[in-house]
Amino acid sequence: MLTRLFSEPSLIPEVQKFASWAEDCDDDDDDMSDKDEEEEKSLQDGKTEGSLSESKEDGDMMGEEEEEEEEEEEGTEELDGERPKKRGPKKRKMTKARIERSKVRRQKANARERNRMHDLNSALDNLRKVVPCYSKTQKLSKIETLRLAKNYIWALSEILRSGKRPDLVAYVQTLCKGLSQPTTNLVAGCLQLNSRNFLTEQGQESGRYHGPNSSFAMHPYPYQCPRLSGSQCQSSTMASSHALRTHGYYDSIYGNTSPDYNSSEYDAPLSPPLCINGNFSLKQDSSPDQDKNYHYSMHYSALQASRSSGHGLLFSSSGMRSGVHSENLLPYDMHVHHDRAPMYEELNAFFHN
DNA sequence: TAGGCCATCTGGTCCT
DNA sequence: AGGACCAGATGGCCTA
């Protein structure tokens, strides 16, 4: 019967392996001692022999004395074919009880592994929330999240090291280093930087930036994010809309005077980087790159203005209506926002010194 | 249909 | 010995 099962093409590989494995010990009795469990691992090697790692066959940790007591298994001889007779450990025959125990142990290991991966994914989700362009519904891939996080840390480190206001374009370039095109567009969109121009600048190093009077926010971005379509980033224009949309959370606090954006497009505020940008904004000097840093300025000052005045209109330092997305000002939720607030204040203090 | 991303299973290795 | 960690394999889902 096991032979039939083993030859059944529709069977999953595990069943096939298990069938061949169990067949080898079909004639075995069930009264083996518990110490046989020690060899379950060796037997599991045996069940995958010929398919997974043949090199492992000779590497099992069975004792030499047991080797002499055990007989060579028939199945192994078949699979080994013309290979020289193995000197390595022999595989113990499986009893039904041992098979059951092994199955249970494997299931437990699988469950642990699942939980471990879930924990890992949860940590990644948390990381997504603190890197630029966080969205609940449109998640960055794992690898992009890690890359963006690395770039983000690097960018912030450079800012702290230099103690100077960063150039927006350079900042975004740093953030997007090594990122895929869709993620680059998303980050640029979230930072309200036209990715087309940003990418051009990457090549030309022109450093030119669309100033507040430009229509950067409405520029259709050239790339449609593959996995973003239908959610946050049907195009990078959508990302711009995101950046400009007043979030409901912000609305509830500061009032809503923004157009009626589709709230389903983005269901979570952006992550801190834009807030970090705001930290640079309190320096309202008239540096030559003021235009480039326009958004750094307007984000934070807009927040300050709206907080102090109580109205929901967001104005840049020049008084122009910015239309800035409140998510740029507020992290993904109140809890995190409060947790991070001291850090922002420290950064503000740093940039005021 | 190919390619990217992901979840899961699995066996090996290392550590406690 | 058991658990954690890792990497390979596999299959599903989605999009271009």
Give the closest residue to A121 by CA, choosing from A131, A109, A113, A110: A113
Question: What does the pLDDT look like over A143-179, one tens digit per residue?
Answer: 889 989 989 999 999 899 988 877 888 888 888 888 8
Mean local confidence (pLDDT), A35-57: 34
CA distances from A60 to A40, A48, A49, A123 (A): 11, 13, 12, 36
| Residue A60 counted as domain residue | no
Total structural domains within chain A: 1
Q: Is A114 part of any domain?
A: yes
Tens digit of pLDDT for each residue in A170-226?
Answer: 888 888 888 888 888 878 777 766 555 555 444 433 333 333 333 222 232 333 333
Instruction: Give domain status of residue A168, yes or no.
Output: yes
Give a yes or no: residue A152 inside a domain.
yes
Greater confidence, A37 or A197? A197
- Residue A50 maps to a domain: no
Percent of chain A with pLDDT over 90: 1
Q: What is the mean pLDDT of chain A?
A: 49
Q: How far is the CA of A63 from the C1' of B12 (A)?
A: 19
Query: Cα A298 to the chain's mean position, in Å?
Result: 30
Residue A315, beta-bridge partner list: A321
C-beta within 7 A of nucleic chain C, residues 81-120 of A: 108-109, 112-113, 116
pLDDT at A214: 31
| pLDDT for position A193 | 65
Q: How confident is the model at residue A92 (pLDDT cuts 50, 70, 90)?
A: low
Residue A127's domain comprises 104-191
Determine, yes or no, domain membership for A32: no
Average confidence (pLDDT) over A226-241: 37
Residues by Cβ under 7 A, strand B: A 14, 17, 41, 44-45, 47-48, 52-53, 56, 59, 106-107, 109-111, 113-114, 117-118, 121, 139, 141-144, 180, 227
Q: At what angle do helices A168-175 and A294-309 cross, to 10 degrees?
A: 100
**Is residue A155 in a domain?**
yes
Give the closest nucleotide to A44 (alpha carbon vs C1'): B11
Is residue A174 in a domain?
yes
